[in-house]
Amino acid sequence: MTERIDAYLVAGGRYHDIDYARAELLKLLAEHPHVRTRVGSDYRDTESIAASRFLVTYTCDVRPSAEEQEALHDYVAGGGRWLALHGTNSVLDFTKKGVEAPRIIDRMAFTLGSQFIAHPPIQPYEVRPVAPSHPLVQGIGAFETDDELYLCEYHDRDRLVPLFETTYAGEALGFTVSDWSDADRHLVVYLRPLGEGAVLYNTLGHCRGHWDMQPAMDYYPQVERCSWELPQYHEMLRRGIAWCLGEHEEASA
């Protein structure tokens, strides 16, 4: 008899089509009938998260309290696996000088291995495998996506395991940290070992519908699905869930 596995999905936040991402992730999780998934819009239910075998998150500007950040750190360090997607590492303040990424999630950023700082306008860029023989990468070659290219501040950088990367040096218009001309290589997907557990972070997967920029904008003119339209992204997500379930054991460190 197959063992039941409990998972927790956090899908919430602003400026994204959270309904779309939530539905797509639940469909992928449902490919594993023995996985039972509890869903939340933030990190307040720390007890249920702690009781789950793994955690999946798709958020933007969801700000866990200091206690919640510590609970997330302890969850991973104690052996939990966390598949963190797209804006999980983002907090955004809209100021007169542009969009700012306040450093108010330091413990969470350390746990994740990064904090989002800025992105250039959505435009095509190449995603390249860094470790082509790695179980989470093998068989997925370089591909082009039309997505937000995350420019991040990394934590515990020497311990991060790069899986996919891209190259960008230029401006991130509209953000307070806009000059990235001295930057070059940026992690797109990486593993972050921590204690007995690990985080698998995938920065791809922006999505937005017509009503997701309120109150800043009543009606957003374009529906954006970005990497969600690519088979490579769905394969990455499937492998990420399999990793959460304990497959690719050698890939967790």
Give the pTM. 0.97
Query: Among 150, 135, 141, which Cα is nearest to 226's?
Result: 150
Note the pLDDT tens digit of each residue in 200-219.
Answer: 999 999 999 999 999 889 99
pLDDT digits (tens, 9 = 90+) for 127-179: 999 999 999 999 999 999 999 999 999 999 999 999 999 999 999 999 999 99
Burial of 242 (0-12, 13-18, 19+ CB in 10 A): middle
How many Cα atoms occupy the beta-carbon half-sphere of 102 within 13 Å? 9
For residue 39, which of 5, 68, 17, 11 has the smallest C-alpha distance? 11
Q: What topology is assigned to 5-252 in CATH?
A: Rossmann fold (3.40.50)
Using only C-alpha atoms, the chain has a radius of gyration, in whole angstroms, of 17
Domain ranges of the chain: 5-252
d(CA 227, CA 232): 8
Checking if the pLDDT of 251 tops 70, the result is no
Question: pLDDT value at position 165?
Answer: 98
Of residues 241, 247, 227, 246, the one with CA closest to residue 27: 241
Residue whose token pair is 């039941």: 4
Q: Please report the pLDDT score of residue 133 as a whole number.
A: 97
Distance CA 204, CA 26 (A): 17
- Give the tens place of pLDDT for each residue, 85-139: 999 999 999 999 999 999 999 999 999 999 999 999 999 999 999 999 999 999 9
Helix, strand, coil tally for the chain in percent (to 5): 25, 35, 40
Beta pairing class for 123-129 and 161-167: antiparallel
Counting Cβ atoms within 10 Å, is residue 241 exposed (0-12), middle (13-18) or buried (19+)?
Answer: buried
- How confident is residue 247, by pLDDT bands cut at 50, 70 and 90? confident
**Spatial CA neighbour of 75 closest among 98, 102, 57, 99:** 57
CA distance 51 to 54: 9
Residue 3 sits at the vertex; the CA angle it makes with 69 and 85, to the nearest 5 degrees, is 35
233-246 tens-digit pLDDT: 999 999 999 999 99
Question: For position 135, what pLDDT does the model report?
Answer: 97
How far apart, in whole angstroms, are the C-alpha atoms of residue 179 and residue 162? 24
Reduced to 3 states (helix: H, G, I; strand: E, B; else coil), residue 71 is helix
In one-letter notation, the amino acid at residue 130 is V
Question: Residue 253: pLDDT band by 50, 70, 90 thresholds?
Answer: very low
Residue 252: the pLDDT is 46
Give me the amino acid identity at 221.
Answer: P
